[in-house]
Every structure is written in C-alpha cells, then in structure tokens.
Amino acid sequence: MKKSKRLEGMKSAIFAEIDKIKEEVAARGITIIDLGIGSPDMPPMPHIFHALQEAAENLNNYGYPTSKGTRELRETISWWYGERFGVQLDPETEVLVLMGSQDGLGHLPLCLLDPGDIALVPDPGYPVYSAGVTLAGGQVYHMPLKKENQFLPDFDAIPEDIARNANMMILNYPNNPVAAVADSAFFERAVEFALRYDIVVCHDIAYSELAFDGYRPPSILESKDAIKVGVEFHSVSKTYNMAGCRLGFVVGNSEIIEALARVKSNIDYGVFLPIQMAGIAALRGPQDITQRNAAAYKARRDILIDGLAKTGWVMDKPQATMFVWAPLPKGYTSSQKFTEDVLRETGVAMVPGIAFGSQGEGYVRIALVQDEGVIQETVRRIGDKFRF
Ligand SMILES: Cc1ncc(COP(=O)(O)O)c(C=O)c1O
C-alpha cells in the first residue's frame, strides 16, 4: 500500500518505546504511576455533567449540530471572555466552536498556508502545532524557547527573510510543556512583530485558568490591535475537567475565524449538542471550581518538587499549568535514557523533553495528574532508587 510522505514522522517512536517499557514494568508486577499524558484526573462538577445528562435524554439533540456551534454557546463564550479578560467579541463573527482546541490548531494551517509557506512554531511545543503545519504542506521554522529568555521566543533572533516570508506564528502561554508564563508586555511585542511582518498570531491559552500564587494569565486579545492579526484558542478540557467531551473554541479576528469555519464546514458537523450545553453550564456556572482545581495542582506541585529536592533533583516551581518542566539531574544528558531508567526502576512514567522538539532535550515533563497520595508515592519510589 502506498502511503503519503506526510504520514512519515506523524507518530512519535519515543511514545511507542515508552509504552513498551510500561508493559514490561507492569508485567513485573509494578504498578505504573503515569505522569505522562496531561489528561485531568479530577471529574467535572455535578452541574456540568447533569447538564450533559439532561441534554442527552432529549431525543431532539441527536441531529447534526451546525459546524460553527450553537448561537447560545457562542454568546456564552463571548460573555465569558468579557467577564474574564474584559475583551468584547461578536458571537456571530468572532467566535467559533471547536471539537477541542486541538481541532482548530490542527486545521488552521490549512486556511493560512500554501505548500512551502512558513509557520513560526515554538520548540519545544505541543505536538499538534508542527503536525498541523506539516499536514498543510507548510514549512516549520522553530522558535527556540530557552530558559535564559524565560522560555519566551526571541523575535529579534528570527532572521529577517524568515519573518518576511512567514504567514503564521503559534504562541502558547501558560505553556505546555515548559510551564512558563507570559505577561502583557510580551503579547504586545508579539502583536507588534506580527503587524510589522503581516503574520497571523495564533495564541493557545488552554491553561489560562490553571495558575497559582495569585497569578492570572492575560489574553493576547487584551493587547492593542491584537484583533487585527490574532486569534486565541481555548478549551474546556483542563479548566473544567472535560477533556473527553471534546469542546474548545477559537476567538478573535473575524477573517481568520471565517476561514477556519469554512474549512471545518467541509470536514465536520460540529460538536454533539449535549456537549455544547454542558459547555454552557461550565462557562456560566460557578467559577470558583477553577480555583479549587488550580489549588489541587499547586498542592501536588509542592509535594513533588519539595520531595524530589531531597533526592538532589532540583527544579523550578511553575506559576501555571498542570506540568513541571524538570531539568535532567546531574549525570544525565539524554531525556529519553533518563525517562526510561526511572520508568524501569520505579514504574513512574514521564515524558522526555525531546518528544516536544530538539530544544526540549535536557528536560523531562512531569504531569501532575495523580492525587497527592500518588505524588507522595512517586517521590518515595524515586528517592528509594536514586540519589542525584
Ligand atoms: C497547550 C495545549 N493546547 C491544546 C491542547 C488540546 O486541548 P483540547 O482538549 O481542547 O483539544 C492541549 C492538551 O493537552 C494542550 O496542552
């Protein structure tokens, strides 16, 4: 069977190797502690799943929904953006419902890139960014995220000819995998750069509500003129523990929204209506649940980082996200080798930084997706086998 060239490189060999080791370890009778994939372990609040349940019992909700999302949900999103960020959006032209933000991030390059066109993508970065560009036949230019730059891209380091030929740029703060945050001044610089070179800015803000220590992540759309060049991708997956519901949204520049809506109307029929109704319940309902969620991740973060420090493995405390981006302990240079050693010895699974791009080498990503007891057990298991 002939398969397309673009298929090559779509599946990461690293994840397949880790899965194989997990099986070997489990076969030795060791319970795996999975701190790999960033899927929330906590359930959605009752008012959310009751809305889903009630809507699922209404037999009128089983037809094709519209691809762009119900008017009621788009109005709710626009209202929520006003409440949370003070950003006013037209629900008709500046809001589009997605089957998870991944749906939009994966398909947007089809609207913006012709084969060979350049997209500026962070490295390390969430894998769909590069995958979407590759699927559209575009060319990825990696913007390295380095600790000495607070894990922000350095726009001045992008060569002039690349900037002039780039059509889109992806940003993501609070960031997965590096768990860094960005302030409004950074977004203003990003918008200025995008306006100067006529580049569309796509900001992924999936972790805006998972922030700690009094920090509140800003939206890029709060920046002056951002709406002229930008869109922002959002998700209910992490904010409301609804990852399996597949519901996200994109807001911002109406021309970009219209283009993505056009591509999507050729591909899908939109999100199952009861899930859209659960999304409305989540966005309109009490928002203190997001603070409780964040507090749970923060408590886990502290147990993990303070505990591992006693083994000699020292890492910074992130201000947001459900991840810790940990530099390899002394004596290790390969994130894959380190991840495999820890998994074999302790049953604790993490993701090697190299899985997120070449600049991720030297780090591992630890997802705080187990309860405090399991995080304590993680610290104990690593401490029993390793001294760094
Ligand atoms: C940075 C980032 N963006 C987007 C997504 C996808 O989220 P969704 O469930 O909305 O597709 C994830 C999921 O882990 C993520 O980490």
Q: How far is the CA of 237 from the centre of ligand 1 (A)?
A: 7
Pick the CATH number of 62-284 from 3.90.1150.10, 3.40.50.720, 3.90.1170.40, 3.40.640.10: 3.40.640.10
Q: How far is the CA of 2 from the centre of ligand 1 (A)?
A: 31
User: In 112-165, where do the E strands start and end?
Assistant: 118-123, 139-144
Q: Where in the chain is the domain with CATH 3.40.640.10?
A: 62-284
Pick the CATH number of 5-43+288-385 from 3.40.1160.10, 3.40.50.300, 3.60.21.10, 3.90.1150.10: 3.90.1150.10
**Span 274-333, pLDDT tens digits:** 999 999 999 999 998 899 999 999 999 999 999 999 999 999 999 999 999 999 999 999
Residue 11's pLDDT is 66
Residue 13's pLDDT is 72
Q: How many helices (H) and strands (E) does the chain have?
A: 13, 12
Over 90: is that where the pLDDT of 207 sits? yes
Residue 17's pLDDT is 85
**Span 75-95, pLDDT tens digits:** 999 999 999 999 999 999 999
- 320 by DSSP, 3-state: which? strand
Task: Kindly state if the Cβ of 129 falls inside 6 Å of ligand 1.
Answer: no
DSSP structure class, residue 355: G
- % of the chain residues with pLDDT over 90: 93
Over 70: is that where the pLDDT of 251 sits? yes
Residue 16's pLDDT is 82
Q: How far is the CA of 307 from the centre of ligand 1 (A)?
A: 28
**Span 220-248, pLDDT tens digits:** 999 999 999 999 999 999 999 999 999 99
Look at ligand 1, atom 6, and give the residue with the nearest C-alpha. 102
Q: How far is the CA of 249 from the centre of ligand 1 (A)?
A: 11
What is the average per-residue pLDDT within 106-122? 97
Task: Kindly state if the Cβ of 102 falls inside 6 Å of ligand 1.
Answer: yes
Q: Where in the chain is the domain with CATH 3.90.1150.10?
A: 5-43+288-385
Residue 319's pLDDT is 97
Task: Kindly state if the Cβ of 243 falls inside 6 Å of ligand 1.
Answer: yes
When pLDDT is cut at 50, 70 and 90, the band that residue 10 belongs to is confident
Counting atoms of ligand 1 from 1, which one is nearest the CA of 204? 3
- % of the chain residues with pLDDT over 70: 99
When pLDDT is cut at 50, 70 and 90, the band that residue 9 belongs to is low
Average pLDDT, the chain: 96
DSSP structure class, residue 310: T
Is beta strand 200-204 parallel, antiparallel or unpaired with respect to 166-172? parallel
Residue 276's pLDDT is 98
Counting atoms of ligand 1 from 1, which one is nearest the CA of 172? 1
Residue 200's pLDDT is 98
**Given ligand 1 and candidates 77, 151, 238, 297, which is best to mutate, with the most ligand atoms within 8 Å of its CB?**
238
Counting atoms of ligand 1 from 1, which one is nearest the CA of 247? 10
Q: How far is the CA of 380 from the centre of ligand 1 (A)?
A: 30
Counting atoms of ligand 1 from 1, which one is nearest the CA of 99? 11
Look at ligand 1, atom 2, and give the residue with the nearest C-alpha. 206
**Span 149-160, pLDDT tens digits:** 999 999 999 999
User: In the chain, where do the E strands start and end?
Assistant: 33-34, 95-98, 118-123, 139-144, 166-172, 200-204, 230-235, 248-252, 323-327, 348-349, 351-352, 363-367
Distance in angstroms (rounded) separating the CA atoms of residues 247 and 97: 7
Task: Kindly state if the Cβ of 38 falls inside 6 Å of ligand 1.
Answer: yes
- The identity of residue 321, as a single letter, is T
Distance in angstroms (rounded) separating the CA atoms of residues 276 and 201: 26
